[in-house]
Structure 1
Amino acid sequence: MHNKHYLTTMRHGWKKKIVFCGSLVIFLLIILHPDMNVRGNYEYIEKDVIVHNLHEETAANFTSSAVLNCDYRDVIFDDTTLSLSLADGDLIENHKIKEGGEYAPSDCKPKFSTAIIVPYRDIAEQLRGFLVYMHMFLHRQCIHYRIYVVEQMDSRPFNRAKLLNIGAVAAMKAGYPCLVLHDVDLLPLRPSNLYACTKSPRHMSSSINKFRFVIPYLNLFDGAVAIISKQFKAVNGMSNEFFGWAGEDDDLYARLEAEGLKPCRFEPSTSRYHKVTQESQFRRDRGQKSVKYSKDKISVDGLNTLKYTEVATVLHPLFTHIMVDL
């Protein structure tokens, strides 16, 4: 009788363990599956209405000889995923990129002019791969664009936000109505992720391989973001005080909130990026501590207090190179 009770207890215990292990496996599969948020764990603009949410404007000094306007629906509904091997190759012949990294399609008139601004220091091989890949990527989108690389030449800790401010000032001076603030270690995977501004500031890189294509937190506004130049001016740009990997992205989000600008996103499958390098956790840890700061300091820290020394500006075949000491 005792043995029978013991065996029954053992079976019951094993059943509980099997159920627990099975539940754990299912939970892990759901959490770790790279497509777990394909339909999104955040609000996003549906593809059918993206065109109506875009900010149509070209640079003040831009002209096109094309007769017909470019059509963007084919771009938006393009399900292609580009190969990362493009970064290791060379540009196609007759790429028609102007000096300074400027390009516009010749067979149709683009509706958008975008300045891609890249803060940078000391990673030449990665920059080369980024430039080749991005030009190949952007050629598919039928937009007018120019790539600015802003390099910090001094030995002070890296200041991403200040470099972005410097690039934004140069791009706005050149008449670009749309700014894309872009890290050099991020490569967009889907051509449907149009590099044009929406009416609201847009977090473009909401689905990154490093995070298994799941957004870490909903207030994230980092990596690659698109913002209308007038909106960037309205929030006085970014803070100039964040030396080292800090919370400049969360600070910018707080500035947008203070100005009543609610960021938007495209769906996760469109917003996929490959991160080439690993980001220090130090950046994430520091970021959450600085949000309140920007709400109180917008008017006294940003574009209107931007100070730096321009070492040189060089127009390379693939980009405009702005070298500065901070």
Structure 2
Amino acid sequence: ERFTADGNTLNLVPLCKGPTLPCRLHMVCFLVVLFYSKDGTFFVFTMPYRMANGNNTYSQLIKELVPLETKTQNASLGETRMPPNTSKTLGPCPDTPPNLLGPLHVEFNSNRTLDYVRKEVGSILQEGGRYKPPDCIAQQKVAIIVAFRNRHEHLKHWLYYLHPILVRQQLDYRVYIINQDGEGVFNRAKLMNTGYVEALKEYDYECFVFSDIDLVPMNDRNLYRCFDNPRHLAVAMDKFNFHLPYNGYFGGVSSLSKDQYLKINGFPNSFWGWGGEDDDIYNRILNRGMSISRPDSVTGKYRMIKHERDLHNEPNPNNPGKLSQTRWTMDKDGINSLKYSVKDIVRDRLYTFITVDIEAPSITW
């Protein structure tokens, strides 16, 4: 039989001749196999053809199976077949991190350099001293805030020990070094307030750990996270023969959740020079009906990097007298009265270094 279309001649080869029942069955089976595959995909069977120019050379006999886009025959799915989802949903990190070591040997090698620290501990960090666990969701998002000026010798030791500890503790964290610009009177508490504000510009932190640059923990079970009450972490320094100097001491290293911090209106901005601000923070916590939590004296051990008193951070004789006024001053002296300006931000592999002008006065006492 010959079928002509657009000048081409297509020869169809009959499968069988005659109206017999076997012939009809043969045709039906052929059509089913030809047009329908077992997975629900239709195909076209291409036959050889002869060009109109009379060339009797036929192309090689080819069977092409051309899939046509179809939806699945199962109407209940209502969509095309998709590959299975192989992504894994991360679960929360355990409350007790599994890789903690406990007591640590801490020494301050004078040959240690910042480049060495960067090489040793920086490979798993993101820019800005940032880390988050790759295999679970951290219990808390923590900003580590350090008040700083002219302490680069201490910084390398602190970073060398703290980053591995914080990584083992499975924290979602970043280290902020808040550097006071200029040579005016140092103000630790105001720098901590500044670090709180600057950190929240970058991430929705839930917890804030405020640390001196010269204190290194000697036990990684001392968790740098927040608790139901404000937490005093540095409870047993070698400087004090590994004892708490007095019950109301809140110095060195502490942690407060965002809610706890706002409840006390942050730290006081009015304590210029050395001394008094830690006690004022302690008073603020008690005045807001909270209590202090602490690790035990074994877990809370710290080594202090020995140093001379900083220039323009001398003891201020006016600070102790302010402590009796905390109840009345805390609502107007704190995060709601903070003033500063950012001079520079440097994002190193090991830290985010923010230099700020906090309008420091010259010494007047």
Whether these two folds match at TM > 0.5 is yes
Query: C-alpha deviations, 1:60-114, integer Å up to 9, x for none?
Result: xxxxx76232224355974332433589353536732111111012122211111
- State the 1:205 CA deviation: 0.2
Question: Are 2:127 and 2:348, in contact at CA under 8 Å, matched by a contact in 1?
Answer: yes
* Distance change >3 Å, CA 285–CA 134, structure 1 → 2: farther
Q: Deviations over 1:225-264 (max 9, x none)?
A: 0100111111111111111102000011111111111111
Overall identity of the aligned pairs, in % = 34
State the one-letter code of the partner of 1:145: Y
1:86–1:270 CA distance, 2 compared to 1 (3 A): farther
Give 2:126's match in structure 1, choosing from 90, 93, 98: 98
Name the CA distance, whole Å, in 2 between partners of 1:264 and 1:290.
25
Give the match for residue 157 of structure 2: 129
Shift of 1:283: 4.9
Q: Distance between the aligned counterparts of 1:68 and 1:316, measured in 2?
A: 30
Bigger Cα displacement from structure 2, 125-134 vs 91-100:
91-100
Find the counterpart in structure 1 of residue 329 from structure 2.
Answer: 297
User: Corresponding residue for 1:227?
Assistant: 256
Matched, 1:69 2:92: yes
Pair 1:151-2:179 in alignment: yes
Q: Deviations over 1:152-211 (max 9, x none)?
A: 012211000000000011223321110001000000110100111011000000000000
* SS of 2:120 mapped into structure 1: coil
Kindly provide the amino acid, as one letter, of the partner of residue 343 in structure 2. Answer: V
Judging changes above 3 Å, is the alpha-carbon distance between structure 1 residues 74 and 150 closer, same or farther for their aligned structure 2 residues?
closer
2:348 is aligned with 1:320: no
Q: Distance in 2 between matches of 1:307 and 1:239?
A: 12
Equivalence for 1:7: none
1:272 aligns with 2:295: no
Q: 1:307 is matched by which residue type in structure 2?
A: K
Q: What letter matches 1:294 in structure 2?
A: T
Q: How far apart in 1 are the matches of 2:314 and 2:301?
A: 24
The 1:76–1:133 alpha-carbon spacing in structure 2 relative to 1, beyond 3 Å, is closer
- 218, 236, 245: which one pairs with 1:216? 245
Q: Compute the TM-score of the two structures, normalised by the length of structure 1.
A: 0.74
Structure 2 CA distance for partners of 1:300 and 1:103, relative to 1, 3 Å: same
> Runs of 5+ in structure 2 lacking a partner?
1-87, 359-365
1:80 and 1:322 map into 2 onto residues whose CA distance is 32
- 2:325 is paired with a residue whose SS is helix
Counterpart of 1:51 in structure 2 is none
Distance in structure 2 (CA, Å) of the matches to 1:101 and 1:219: 32
Q: Structure 1: which 5+ residue stretches go unaligned?
A: 1-64
| Two-structure CA RMSD over aligned residues (Å) | 2.4
* 1:113 maps to 2:115: no
> How many angstroms apart in 1 are the aligned matches of 2:352 and 2:121?
21
Distance in 2 (CA, whole Å) between partners of 1:157 and 1:261 is 31
One-letter code of the match for 1:259? R
Q: Matches of 1:241 and 1:75 in 2, distance apart?
A: 42
In the TM superposition, what is the alpha-carbon distance from 1:125 to its structure 2 partner? 1.9
Q: Relative to structure 1, is the Cα distance of residues 306 and 69 closer, same or farther in structure 2, using a 3 angstrom cutoff?
A: same
The range that moved more, 180-189 or 88-97, is: 88-97
Q: Tell me the distance in 2 between the aligned counterparts of 1:116 and 1:306.
A: 19
Counterpart of 1:81 (choices 101, 104, 108) is: 104
Secondary structure of 2:197's partner?
A: helix
Amino acid at match of 1:318: L
**2:225 paired residue number:** 196
**5 Å matches for 1:11-30?**
none
Q: In structure 2, how many angstroms separate the alpha carbons of the residues matched to 1:273 and 1:75?
A: 22
Q: Is the 8 A contact 1:114 1:144 kept in 2?
A: yes
Assess, with a 3 A threshold, how the Cα gap between structure 1 residues 104 and 74 changes in structure 2: closer, same or farther: closer
| SS of residue in 2 equivalent to 1:100 | coil
User: What is the correspondence of 1:34-53 to structure 2 with a 5 Å cutoff?
Assistant: none
**Greater percentage in helix:** 1
